[in-house]
Amino acid sequence: MESSSPFRSDILRGKVALLTGGGSGIGFEISTQFGKHGASIAIMGRRSSVVQSAVSTLQSLGIPAVGFQGDVRKQEDAKRVVESTVKHFGKLDILVNAAAGNFLVSPEDLSPNGFRTVLDIDSVGTFTMCHEALKYLKKGGPGRSPSSSGGTILNISATLHYTASWYQIHVAAAKAAVDAVTRNLALEWGTDYDIRVNGIAPGPIGDTTGLSKLLPQEMDGSNRDHVPLYKVGEKWDIAMAALYISSDAGKYVNGTTMIVDGGLWLSHPRYLHKDAVKELSRTVEKRSRDAPVGVPSSKL
């Protein structure tokens, strides 16, 4: 059963959104929710069949939608898709960079080419799409009324690089770069062109390719116990955060990456049960109170 949205159904009315990676997973859920809340949707993806299937689904819901095959690693594709979106809908208000690559691999088994590929998709691809969309998103750009504000960019990131993550060095490096792009464009393009640039860092989200790759069914129970997935979120959770940031509800939010993971990035596996903590704490406090003044507890 789908959760009901806390937002008005017209919160994005009249907006045009282009989403890379918008044909599947989190990207498709954002596409769907943006469309249900009034936006016209353009989807860009490498696999034409996936893009067209997503567009058909959106159109069946009464959402104005169009799809374009393209690779974010290719500047000519980025330029063509952005221009085609504006030609089809007349303008561009929101760019969502959700295209990403990921796989489990230890650093010694990761080739430089494999490392580069993920950075090209996530980091360079994100910047390339932003670069090609600039003239349409900036205040007073083609299709935008002189009195309207600039558009919005939303980059889908991760929390992997906040500390470190096993077998994810390539993605951690790529998403760290995405966050830097977000902050720098927010500073410069927010100042010069009135464009808001923000990010979302999802936690583990159920029924996505990312989760199936990072926690595959083939992992046995003992291995799964070492992966601290206490809470698995829903694609809807990320889409609601995207709605907030991309709509006027978030009009004063710029240069931030919102973590949407239930607090998981703060947590570590519990190594001591809370009842044991109470008993241990009482023991330690009693020993501290009973210690002679001036004698270190380590000497007792």
Cβ atoms of 213 and 102 within 8 Å: the answer is: yes
pLDDT tens digits, one per residue of 72-123:
999 999 999 999 999 999 999 999 999 999 888 889 999 999 999 999 999 9
Residue 289 amino acid letter: R
Indicate the pLDDT class of residue 233, thresholds 50, 70 and 90.
confident
Please list the residues that pair with 260 across neighbouring strands. Answer: 202
Place of tokens 């859920």: 29
pLDDT attached to residue 300: 46
* pTM of this structure: 0.85
pLDDT attached to residue 215: 52
Higher pLDDT: 232 or 21? It is: 21
Neighbours of 95 (CB within 10 A): 30
What 164-172 contacts at long range (C-beta under 8 Å, 24+ apart), as own/partner pairs, is 167/104, 167/105, 167/106, 168/102, 168/104, 168/214, 169/107, 169/110, 169/115, 170/105, 170/110, 170/114, 170/115, 170/118, 170/119, 171/100, 171/101, 171/102, 171/118, 171/122
- Quick one: tokens of 71? 């690779």
pLDDT attached to residue 220: 44
Higher pLDDT: 112 or 285? It is: 112
pLDDT attached to residue 291: 62
- Answer whether residue 139 shows pLDDT above 90: yes
- Answer whether residue 228 shows pLDDT above 80: no
pLDDT tens digits, one per residue of 12-52:
999 999 999 999 999 999 999 999 999 999 999 999 999 99
Mean pLDDT along residues 268-286: 67
Mean pLDDT along residues 224-251: 81
User: Torsions phi, psi of 201, nearest 5?
Assistant: -110, 95
pLDDT attached to residue 165: 86
pLDDT tens digits, one per residue of 157-214:
999 999 988 889 999 999 999 999 999 999 999 999 999 999 999 988 877 665 555 5
- Answer whether residue 219 shows pLDDT above 70: no
- Quick one: tokens of 21? 């990676």
Strands 94-97 and 16-20: parallel
- How far from 35 is each of 14, 160, 298, CA to CA, in Å? 10, 30, 64
- Quick one: tokens of 56? 């058909």
Higher pLDDT: 284 or 157? It is: 157
- Quick one: tokens of 126? 């994100």
Alpha-carbon gap, residue 56 to 54, rounded angstroms: 5
Place of tokens 């929710």: 33
Alpha-carbon gap, residue 174 to 73, rounded angstroms: 13
